A and B are shown apart, each in its own frame.
Chain A
Amino acid sequence: MVSTSKFLKHLDTDRYLPAPLRRDLPAATGNGNHPVAGRFLVRDRSLTTMKKIISWANRTFYPEQKTAQRVPFTTLFSRFQHILSLNNQSMELIAEANDKLGGHYVFDQQYIRSFCEQLRELVDQLIYNLDGLVPQKYADLYKIFREINDDIAKELSGRLVIAGTDLVMPYAGISREYLNAVGGKNARLAEMKKVLGLRVPEGFAITARAFQSFMEFNELWPQVQKITDDWLQNRLGCEQASAAIMALIREATVPLEVKKAVQVALMQLRQLTGNKPLQLAVRSSAWGEDSEFSFAGQYKSMLNVAEENLFQCYKEVIASAFSPAAMEYRRQNGFGEQEMAMSVACQAMIDAAISGVIHTIAPASPRQTDLLISAAWGLGEPVVAGQISADQYTVSRKKPHKISAVSLVRKEKQLVLRPEGGTAMQQVAGARQNNACLTNEQVNQLATTALEIEQFFRAPMDIEFAVDRQGQLVILQARPLTLPAQTLQQHCDIAAIVSKYPVLMKDQGFIAQKGIGAGKVFVVNSSADLDYFPSGAVLVAKYASPLFARVMNRARGIITDVGSATCHMATIAREFRVPTIVNAGNATRVLTTGQDITIDAEENIIYAGTIDELCFYGLTTERLEETYEYRLLRRILNRIEPLYLVDPTEANFTPEGCRSLHDIIRFVHEKAVEGLINLHYTQQHDPLTLSGKLKWELPLDMILIDIGGGITARAKSGDIAIEQIASIPMAAFVKGLSSPGAWNNEPLSVDMASFMSSLTRTMPTELASPKYVGQNLAVISRQYANISLRLGYHFTIIDAYVADNLNDNYIYFRFAGGVSDLTRRSRRARFLQRILTENDFVVEVHEDLVIARIKKLPAIDIEAKISFLGLLVGFTRQLDVLLLSDQHINQFVSGFEMLLKKNTQP
């Protein structure tokens, strides 16, 4: 294995060698042993004179190394092969990791760590080997690689990683992917608005990145560190340490970049809320506030804040991250203070007439059949903090949500907004003190909404709500409800309960979204039926259609006869977290509208009847997607898997453009192929390599260089007969090129003589290495061929590899240059584009440059494609002369297709 330090050492060595002495990278031994022995090395850039002396010494004492500086071609090729193999291993490893998210596997953190370690080694070697192939050219890759790895290492150690998010994000732009940057409170509010269409306060998140920017701009971390050290070593009390840090934060300056971003968001918020001066609620939305680590209630919220006081309040809220309780909590749980990152929610203040809290499972409800609503007059803060008494409604979770108990209390006080800002406790008018603050309709609406939220987040929820002065329900916050341990761990015999219900369907189709739900079947035959889709029903349909999106927030499950787990509807179902089974075959025949069923999209079973216990079991079992390990792996794969470098011709196709490990893997592959293709124009070949001139009928000179098993025996005369070609791709190419009609195709009425002359024309010197001007060249091995055909000015490259593992197989084809004017040349490019595309190649055309690629085909198919290219090259060589009009393109396309047919028929 090649370690980082070895790699760097080796880079240093080369950087400090004088240019004429800079050796090409050593043999592809892969063990990091570089043949530097016997050479004088200069390691210090400043020693120019010394360099000259050593340069002289090297030339004088090691004259043979002048030629030996070149790395044998076979070495480069084996390095290239090694890159291919590493590439495959990496891609497979990533694919396997992706499988783990599918729900069938049990994996632990140890697996995630070892996956990351293996991949790190592979990519490390990929970069190392590319550097061996094209020394120093992409040295920056290593920097990018290290950055990505640092992020992954941080993730693995449980630290917060906020990659590339904005300083401020409006709710409209937030999805659950940004959880780390905006915190759970902001993320869930934004999702409830976007996906469920619920009313939530308009607002934006000042992200964790803004927090980091704030701390760094004011150089607060070293000071925080010092104070924390003093506290941890008992030189300072927790209260004092907390006060000291909070004072630092209050006195610090919000960086201009953050201020600017906030001002823009404020302007947008004003536009959304009626262009009046804003009154804001500024709340904490910290990382981990209510997920794995329960910081709930530790942080500050500031209400009814005028715009001009926003930054002061922002500082207050982030200062509360260093409250004594929060610091103590982090100490006990082994978090460093620097791992703290506070995102803040800035919301348009809701002037609440009534506020309250809903627990979707009432703590005192032994059968988990009820939910609990608390409500009081005015703003909700004192209800949550337990400072005032509230009315309580115990409501059935089942429709029509019957109220089973009401406990009304005397509500003497309420918290209200002060016109001048802030809030104040106020006496409630006498008559209203004893009135119930919610109507039955409101209770019903709250219950329905709360269960919708629960269904969406697939966990019992703790929800804060307000009813504004217009009587509208607004959801202020929703977070997973922590149930008492005994509620979760009661030993209900789920298997025995479930066994009493008839199984309607089992193991039919694929689970597209896990989960358990129950409801009445509603069979959708046409999109018009969706208008009548009842809330809480299970959608059953023949085809999986993305049109179902509009009822998904009301569906308890989806079952389709046809469909795949990757279809568009399945993706939407996952966004809505609706338990979904697709491709179940005969669901529309087995199930009828109105029938009560329970869909267990964990075990893939459909039961007749409603199994409440199973639904509850599903609700209280931690979902795979919510587990730390799942989310960790998904976050890590986010740094690994997305491919941002799609187009090798784009300006961002550079080491700096790589944003994921996949990008690096792709980049290395692309540049390795490119490197090898370029190399034999600049590289002086190893004289020991077997080579010779191909002896054949065709009027073109072809030099073969065998780098391993490409030729059966050494040719005495230096000539190689077609039968001696053992290279699979070369043989295939020669077969195609020498097919009947490829060189003498009658339909084209080619004047053979003029055609021949074009073949023998010499190449412009800049396109060929001096030694081989006018020659055609093929570097071959048993499985590989790198063919450069100089047909007149036409400059064609074919680089192909054929092996048993289809993942290794590829063909790279490049056609460029021409003798005619640009219009005709572009016609030829279009002709090639059509033919190549029709024959499954991925094709890029840039004026007269055509690049086509194909890969991952079985050996036999790749061979056929190479033969096809041989035929095409032969056919195309003179086209620019003959393509006089656009109509000719069609003519030549059909001409070629006929020829291809003739040559591929047995």
Chain B
Amino acid sequence: MTIQQKTSILILDDEPIVSKRLKPSLDKNGYEVETFVRSVDALSRIRERDFDIIITDLKMEGVNGMEFLTEAKRRSPATEVIVITGFATMETAKQSFSRGVFDFLAKPFKLGEILEVIRKAEIKRKEKAAAA
């Protein structure tokens, strides 16, 4: 295996089960994963460092997902954001995309589905990097 920078992923969901299920799968697929259940903690983390990919829920106590991802994109436009939500409506989807969200996944989703979306986000990042 070539020495290569791992793709970093931040997961934010107020239900711990989501991170609990995603992390082992992403670990095994060679990603560097950090997980958060409180949006304030995730917010302070993205002020410390940038992530390649952010996976976030929308409806949360305190800072909601939309505010969080808006801040994340403002700080690091290169970060690709994947929204996961159980309250998927056209309106939230539209709003997410207008904020530059890469993709929108309705919960519950299959592990395979989110891995696929992450791979696509990685490709997009590479293409953007090549173009720059």
Binding site for B on A (CB under 8 A): 100, 104-111, 114, 494-496, 498-499, 602-603, 617, 621-622, 624, 627-629
Is B29 located at the chain interface by the 8 A CB criterion? Answer: yes
Is B22 located at the chain interface by the 8 A CB criterion? Answer: yes
Q: List 15 A-B contacts (CB under 8 A).
A: A100-B108, A104-B110, A104-B112, A105-B111, A106-B22, A106-B110, A108-B15, A108-B17, A110-B107, A494-B28, A495-B29, A495-B31, A496-B1, A627-B17, A629-B17
B21 nearest CB across to chain A (Å):
5
- A603 in contact with B28 (CB, 8 Å): yes
B12 nearest CB across to chain A (Å):
13
Is B114 located at the chain interface by the 8 A CB criterion? Answer: yes
Is B48 located at the chain interface by the 8 A CB criterion? Answer: no
Cβ proximity bits B6-27 to A, threshold 8 Å, 1 near / 0 not? 0000000101011011101001
With a cutoff of 8 Å between Cβ atoms, the chain A residues found around residue B31 in the complex are: 495
- A498 in contact with B111 (CB, 8 Å): no
A93 nearest CB across to chain B (Å):
13
- B28 in contact with A498 (CB, 8 Å): yes
- B108 in contact with A105 (CB, 8 Å): yes
Is B77 located at the chain interface by the 8 A CB criterion? Answer: no
Known: A495-B28, A496-B1. A109 touches B15 (CB 8 A): yes
The CA of A110 and the CA of B17, in the complex, are separated in Å by 11
Known: A110-B15, A496-B30, A603-B28. A622 touches B107 (CB 8 A): no
Q: Other CB < 8 Å A-B pairs besides A104-B110, A107-B17, 8 of them?
A: A104-B111, A106-B107, A108-B107, A495-B29, A498-B28, A602-B28, A627-B17, A628-B17
Closest to B21 in A: A106
The CA of A107 and the CA of B15, in the complex, are separated in Å by 10
A501 nearest CB across to chain B (Å):
12
Closest to A618 in B: B24
A471 nearest CB across to chain B (Å):
42
With a cutoff of 8 Å between Cβ atoms, the chain B residues found around residue A109 in the complex are: 15, 17
- A105 in contact with B1 (CB, 8 Å): no
Closest to A500 in B: B1
- A108 in contact with B114 (CB, 8 Å): no
- B21 in contact with A624 (CB, 8 Å): yes
- A111 in contact with B86 (CB, 8 Å): yes
B57 nearest CB across to chain A (Å):
9
The CA of A617 and the CA of B24, in the complex, are separated in Å by 9
Closest to A111 in B: B108
Known: A106-B107, A106-B109. A114 touches B17 (CB 8 A): no
A617 nearest CB across to chain B (Å):
8
Cβ proximity bits B71-95 to A, threshold 8 Å, 1 near / 0 not? 0000000000000001000000000
B26 nearest CB across to chain A (Å):
9
With a cutoff of 8 Å between Cβ atoms, the chain B residues found around residue A106 in the complex are: 17-18, 21-22, 107-111, 114
With a cutoff of 8 Å between Cβ atoms, the chain A residues found around residue B114 in the complex are: 106
The residue among B1, B18, B21 with the most chain A CB atoms within 10 A of its own CB is B21
The CA of A499 and the CA of B30, in the complex, are separated in Å by 10
- B86 in contact with A110 (CB, 8 Å): yes
The CA of A559 and the CA of B24, in the complex, are separated in Å by 23
With a cutoff of 8 Å between Cβ atoms, the chain B residues found around residue A499 in the complex are: 1, 30
The CA of A603 and the CA of B30, in the complex, are separated in Å by 13
The CA of A111 and the CA of B30, in the complex, are separated in Å by 28
The CA of A738 and the CA of B29, in the complex, are separated in Å by 66
Closest to A104 in B: B110
List which B22-50 residues lie within 8 A (CB) of chain A.
22, 24, 27-31
A502 nearest CB across to chain B (Å):
13
The CA of A496 and the CA of B27, in the complex, are separated in Å by 10
The CA of A494 and the CA of B1, in the complex, are separated in Å by 13
- A105 in contact with B28 (CB, 8 Å): no
The CA of A106 and the CA of B15, in the complex, are separated in Å by 11
Interface footprint category on B = 20 to 34
List which B83-126 residues lie within 8 A (CB) of chain A.
86, 107-112, 114
- A108 in contact with B109 (CB, 8 Å): no
The CA of A110 and the CA of B60, in the complex, are separated in Å by 12
A302 nearest CB across to chain B (Å):
37
The CA of A107 and the CA of B1, in the complex, are separated in Å by 33
Closest to A97 in B: B108
The CA of A111 and the CA of B17, in the complex, are separated in Å by 12
The residue among B28, B29, B112, B114 with the most chain A CB atoms within 10 A of its own CB is B28
- A108 in contact with B86 (CB, 8 Å): yes
With a cutoff of 8 Å between Cβ atoms, the chain B residues found around residue A107 in the complex are: 17, 107-108
The CA of A819 and the CA of B21, in the complex, are separated in Å by 68
B37 nearest CB across to chain A (Å):
11
Known: A108-B13, A111-B86. A494 touches B27 (CB 8 A): yes
Q: Which 4 A-B pairs have the closest CB atoms?
A: A495-B30, A107-B108, A108-B15, A110-B86
With a cutoff of 8 Å between Cβ atoms, the chain A residues found around residue B112 in the complex are: 104
- A114 in contact with B20 (CB, 8 Å): no
The CA of A111 and the CA of B27, in the complex, are separated in Å by 25
Closest to A108 in B: B15
- A111 in contact with B21 (CB, 8 Å): no
The CA of A98 and the CA of B22, in the complex, are separated in Å by 20
- A114 in contact with B28 (CB, 8 Å): no
B25 nearest CB across to chain A (Å):
8
The CA of A498 and the CA of B1, in the complex, are separated in Å by 11
The CA of A109 and the CA of B108, in the complex, are separated in Å by 10
Known: A105-B108, A108-B15, A110-B15. A495 touches B20 (CB 8 A): no
Closest to A628 in B: B17
The CA of A110 and the CA of B112, in the complex, are separated in Å by 21
B32 nearest CB across to chain A (Å):
9
With a cutoff of 8 Å between Cβ atoms, the chain A residues found around residue B86 in the complex are: 108, 110-111, 114
The residue among B17, B27, B107, B111 with the most chain A CB atoms within 10 A of its own CB is B17
- A627 in contact with B20 (CB, 8 Å): yes
The CA of A331 and the CA of B20, in the complex, are separated in Å by 27
With a cutoff of 8 Å between Cβ atoms, the chain A residues found around residue B22 in the complex are: 106
Closest to A100 in B: B108
Closest to A495 in B: B30
B15, B29, B30, B109: the one within 8 Å of A105 (CB)? B109
The CA of A205 and the CA of B106, in the complex, are separated in Å by 44
The CA of A411 and the CA of B22, in the complex, are separated in Å by 48
With a cutoff of 8 Å between Cβ atoms, the chain B residues found around residue A624 in the complex are: 21
With a cutoff of 8 Å between Cβ atoms, the chain A residues found around residue B109 in the complex are: 105-106
The CA of A106 and the CA of B110, in the complex, are separated in Å by 6
Closest to A492 in B: B27
The CA of A628 and the CA of B112, in the complex, are separated in Å by 22
A104, A105, A495: the one within 8 Å of B27 (CB)? A495
With a cutoff of 8 Å between Cβ atoms, the chain A residues found around residue B17 in the complex are: 106-109, 627-629
B113 nearest CB across to chain A (Å):
9
Closest to B85 in A: A110
- A105 in contact with B110 (CB, 8 Å): yes
With a cutoff of 8 Å between Cβ atoms, the chain B residues found around residue A498 in the complex are: 28
With a cutoff of 8 Å between Cβ atoms, the chain A residues found around residue B30 in the complex are: 495-496, 499
The CA of A496 and the CA of B1, in the complex, are separated in Å by 8
The CA of A735 and the CA of B126, in the complex, are separated in Å by 66
B70 nearest CB across to chain A (Å):
22
The CA of A503 and the CA of B76, in the complex, are separated in Å by 38
With a cutoff of 8 Å between Cβ atoms, the chain B residues found around residue A602 in the complex are: 24, 28
The residue among B13, B20, B109, B112 with the most chain A CB atoms within 10 A of its own CB is B20
With a cutoff of 8 Å between Cβ atoms, the chain A residues found around residue B13 in the complex are: 108
The CA of A250 and the CA of B22, in the complex, are separated in Å by 49
Known: A104-B112, A114-B86, A496-B1. A621 touches B29 (CB 8 A): no
Closest to B84 in A: A106
The CA of A108 and the CA of B17, in the complex, are separated in Å by 6
B18, B24, B29, B110: the one within 8 Å of A108 (CB)? B18
The CA of A627 and the CA of B111, in the complex, are separated in Å by 16
The CA of A824 and the CA of B117, in the complex, are separated in Å by 68
A316 nearest CB across to chain B (Å):
37
The CA of A100 and the CA of B111, in the complex, are separated in Å by 11
With a cutoff of 8 Å between Cβ atoms, the chain A residues found around residue B29 in the complex are: 495
The CA of A107 and the CA of B30, in the complex, are separated in Å by 23
- B1 in contact with A111 (CB, 8 Å): no
- B20 in contact with A111 (CB, 8 Å): no
Closest to A600 in B: B28
A778 nearest CB across to chain B (Å):
46
